[in-house]
Structure 1
Amino acid sequence: MTRRPATDAELNQLEARLDAWLADWARSQSAAGPDERPLLLDVTRDADVPRRWYLRLSGESRDVIAIWLTLRQRTLAYESYVLPAPQHRPNSVADFVLRRNHSLVGARYGIGPEDALYLTGELPTHCVDEDELDRIVGSLWSYVERDFTTLIRLGFRQ
């Protein structure tokens, strides 16, 4: 049986929980030593979309990794922009990400607006907790870090 949609009160509670989790993370980053590069660079709330957060994370193979979290009535949707439409060998890029999708947990590569490549996923609202938020953000970060250089090489170099 499908669970009922979250009530406004439940969504408000989850929204406050996400805000608190992000605030705690930002606080812990500000306490990092001068030689430590913070992972969380910025958190912004979307003014146009209710219950949407925009996270900017520092990367290694890619300077900044952006993640959007959107709390909906039934799910927490998440996505990360990976790269624009490939200019060269789009079939090689498609083959690579389809094979990667087989081993990804909780996310999948897909083609989004403007033929750009995204990582996306959803989690039922009743499963959202701090451990799952850590897993989601950590997984998206690691997938982008692992695949970005290969995707650039496949799609943008001859």
Structure 2
Amino acid sequence: MTRPPATDAELDRLEERIDAWLAQWQRDQGEGDQGEGDQGEGEADRPLLLDVTRDDDVPRRWYVRLAGDTRDVVAVWLTLRQRTLAYESYVLPLAGRRADEVAAFLLRRNYALVGAQFSVGPEDAYYLTGELPTHCVDEDELDRIVGSMWAYVERDFETLLEMGHGVKPRR
């Protein structure tokens, strides 16, 4: 049986919950940078949160910017919809060379990914995307989503850059 779509009141509560989770992450990170307070379980493994902004044109949408290791910034869009929380991250432009090898690599990666998949997006670029039913959205899932998106992009970015564009990683 299909669940009914979330009501406006339920979406409002989820929006507040996501806002509160992001604000708490920023506060925790600020305290950690200054050596104050203890990090909670799993917080030491979080990527560095650079910025959070809201999209003025799309309701219930957040743009979360994280510091990257293999690339400067990993950006994750979170979009709360009636039935799902959609999330996506731009990875890089479509391969300029060895496109078949890149596609095969990404399909193999998709087989092992949890909660996300590589795809070609509307701007002819590779994206990492996923969705979570609204009734499953909580702080643990938000942490898993953003952390996984960061980890998946970080793990494969240099390989994709070299394979699809001939650019050597900057190790």
Shorter-normalised TM range: over 0.9
Structure 2 residue aligned with 1:41: 50
Q: Tell me how far apart the structure 1 counterparts of residues 128 and 106 of structure 2 sit (CA, whole Å).
A: 10
Alpha-carbon deviations, 1:11-62, whole Å to 9, x = none?
A: 00000000000000011111223699x7100000000000000000001001
Residue number among 55, 65, 86 corresponding to 1:56 in the alignment? 65
Q: Shift of residue 78 of structure 1?
A: 0.2
Residue number among 131, 134, 143 corresponding to 1:125 in the alignment? 134
Count of matched residue positions in the alignment of Structure 1 and Structure 2: 157
Q: Does the 8 Å CA contact 1:85/1:114 hold for their aligned counterparts?
A: no
For structure 2, which runs of at least 5 residues remain unmatched after alignment?
36-43
Q: Shift of residue 65 of structure 1?
A: 0.2
Is the aligned partner of 1:155 residue 2:161? Answer: no
Alpha-carbon deviations, 1:71-94, whole Å to 9, x = none?
A: 000000000000011111111110
Map 1:24-35 onto structure 2 (within 5 A): 24-33=24-33
Structure 2 residue aligned with 1:137: 146
Structure 2 residue aligned with 1:66: 75
Where 1:114 maps in the other structure, the secondary structure is coil
Q: Tell me how far apart the structure 2 counterparts of residues 70 and 114 of structure 1 sit (CA, whole Å).
A: 18
Map 1:90-101 onto structure 2 (within 5 A): 90-101=99-110
* RMSD between aligned residues: 1.5
Structure 2 residue aligned with 1:78: 87
Code of the residue aligned with 1:93 in structure 2: it is V
Where 1:48 maps in the other structure, the secondary structure is coil
Structure 1 runs of 4+ off > 3 angstroms? none
Alpha-carbon deviations, 1:98-146, whole Å to 9, x = none?
A: 0000000000000002210000000000000000000000100000011
Q: Tell me how far apart the structure 1 counterparts of residues 58 and 15 of structure 2 sit (CA, whole Å).
A: 13
